[in-house]
Amino acid sequence: MGMLDLISSALKPKPHADRKAKCPKCSADVTLGMERCPSCGTHIDSMFRIECPKCKAANDLKAEKCAECGCCSSTLRYLTCR
């Protein structure tokens, strides 16, 4: 990975950044675009996964397609806790 790839991936918006959820650890209101829960400090990426509606595989929040079946990110819409 080159320096340009690193910069462009950091500036790329997260696909589910505006989705609201409750922190499973402390029940605080969070959005999936946050780095950490404002109340307990736990990393958001480590708490939530996006479930594929086709194969039910759990994918990272930043996934562009399903790691198991390859369907596109627009169909990865079901939020699951880890």
Give the residue, 16 or 25, on which the prediction is more confident: 25
Q: Which pLDDT score, from 0 to 100, does residue 30 have?
A: 92
The per-residue DSSP string of 23-81 comes to -TTT--EEETT-SB-TTT--BHHHHEEEE-TTT--EE-TT-SB-TTT--BGGG--EEEE
Residue range 5-31: mean pLDDT, rounded: 75
Residue 15 clears pLDDT 70, i.e. is over it: no
- Residue range 22-80, pLDDT digits in tens: 998 899 999 988 899 999 998 988 888 888 888 888 888 878 788 888 887 555 565 66
Q: Which pLDDT score, from 0 to 100, does residue 36 have?
A: 92
Residue range 7-36: mean pLDDT, rounded: 78
Q: Which pLDDT score, from 0 to 100, does residue 76 have?
A: 57
